[in-house]
Structure 1
Amino acid sequence: AIAARAIGAREGVLYIRAEYPLAVQRIRAAIEICYERGLLGDLKLSIMEGAGAFVCGEETALLASIEGKRGMPSLRPPYPAEEGLWDKPTLINNVETYAAIPWIFRNEAGAYSSIGTAGSKGTKVFALTGKVNRGGLIEVPMGMTIRHIVEQIGGGIAGGAKFKAVQIGGPSGGCVPASLADTPIDYESLLSVGAMMGSGGMVVLDETDCMVDIARYFLEFTQAQSCGKCTYCRVGTKRMLEMLTDLCEGKPCDLDALENLAKQIKAGSLCGLGKTAPNPVLSTLHYFREEYEEHIHHKKCRAGVCSALLSYTINDKCVGCGACKRVCPVDAIEGTRKEKHRIDQNKCIKCGQCYQTCKFSAITRA
């Protein structure tokens, strides 16, 4: 309402993904309360429930979606501030940005500017998740270090495992290694280490995470969310995903070609989705290249995640209890009770059920 008054707007739209029904319900209730209390004046507020397209986080794609069109970005200029919704000047911001305005009004700009760093003022909300003891939504002042968030707010790595990296910025964010955990959380610092503020996602990773698989996982999402309008994003991300899938299966891959393709996609894509989709790949190639090389040259996944590179055998600790045999979904384990069993490698699908079930450490995973 404050922003609308500042620019003379009489209509506002809150764009919320339909997958968040509780958020829609609460915002709708809040709007009704504001009307009842006369807080909105002649401002008309409505809710547009998005169909779930990630690309609609891009402002021109979001506007197209509100207008009933397919959510696809458009070339700029003109910018939304000049020609936006229904070709009228439009102000677009995240709710997080608008939410800071009342606080600034109450406490004055100087108080807000005193929080954060020289180039990044105020606070930032993150969804802290992954291998930490305490996950959830957090709001921290700009400039707080990654280490402080992981160790103090998140309570450290769950299960006492070793802190390996943190993926920051949502699906398109980069992976920052534990060696750079003292990096402050601000726009400039995150960009300098290959990450970004993005949508505020913060996924903490430990030594049981394979960085090649992590890159593949996030790229798989962004590739599926590509609207298909520009070739670099539509085709480039698909080719890049194929290369990462090959890597996870131990197949040959030219890492220089993968890196070059990622850089071309960043440079040539039309919108932010394509320009940032390669971030998980480029950052893991930069900081964890040795894991990529192990997948190619040694057919090894040090985290034991890429099943195609694993093998399971039964060692001499086997007591013949038959527990592994009972859980095997493809009957790949042979042996009689109280005798050492064996795994038929031709049948084994490397699901790991036997490894997880054995209480005697008789299954060796390599």
Structure 2
Amino acid sequence: MKKQTKAIRIQAERSQNREHSVPLYLTSSFTFDDVEQGRAIFAEEMEGNIYSRYMNPNVDEFVEKMCMLENTEDGLAFASGMAANFAAMAALLQQGDHVVASKALFGSAIQILSKITPKWGITCTYVDGHDLEEWEKAIQPNTKFLFCESPSNPGLDLIDLEAIAQLKAKYNLILAVDNCFATPVIQTPADWGADLVIHSATKYIDGQGRVLGGVVCGRADLIKEIRFFARHTGPSMSPFNAWIMSKSLELIHLRMEKHSDNAMKLATALEGNEALNFVKYPFLTSHPQYELAKKQMKMGGAIMTMDVKGGFAVVNEMSKHLKIASISPNLGDTRTIITHPASTTHSKLSKEQRAEVGITDGLVRIAVGLEAVEDLIADFEQALAKALATTLESAEA
């Protein structure tokens, strides 16, 4: 069966009630037939549910679907995307280890690697994700982990996953790829050699802005170590959130196709707008890594960026005139969302750090939703026109 069919048809085992849609298993724990069965399950001599911090039928169903979509051996779900990121690092790294990471990362991922893991003697070197030589030069004898996002948040920089995986193999390292922006519908990093694939499931896995969640999919031996860490530290996904996420995966192929189609049309319409310095989208031929995008992505995804002339003041003015798009630090909703990274998601980085990854005061991230694209185009065009007019009037005054 094709993945689209499996995403709909993979289900937890039906109960005696023969339900068509899997029920919610809102229970903190599970019972045993006798003490011997409990002993055998705890000793891992037989399979069985124990406690919802460890496992739950709803969570297991969701993880099974994610592993199927990502072409990985095993996986684990978490309370949030950042919990998934942190657990992967905390479980697999130890004092004295070194990480090489792309500079173009989500702000909280940078904070973990720059402010939190160093407390335990784990160091990190940031590199230009485009430069394979820089990746290799940064590898030290104690390097254990390579980490990147592709496309990156928010700059939409791409990493050549095949090339980085070859480097990983050469030095016997672990490669973790954040696949949040692309989703497994658009690219499967494990097929290019990634050992771990990480998601903020809050975004396009849910797709409707309802619940938080994270997931790590990957090699069974690595997931085993992460599972040990997670079971004893407790960043587990709730059964309700897993139930929501699993139902969302039934529509992820349809959603991502429409998101990508809308984003491509909006990016094309806005490219060349007189109020903008540039528009960036992976499947625009103007994207500096267009050929790489076509190689490792099936579609361009839902995220585009635009750089507004005049910086923050003009961005703020434009935001006042938008009638459809929401203003939020989130993404991955059916509703189109704009974010100003320099003042929100990446505000804790220095201006120099932001400049290194292309985050200007005029950069706007647009998570293109599922509205009629003609309405979105008209909305952004009128908002940009009014912002530009207001700016010119102010300059003349």
- TM-score between both structures, scaled by the size of structure 1: 0.31
Q: Normalized against structure 2, the TM-score is what? A: 0.29
Q: Which has the greater radius of gyration?
A: 1
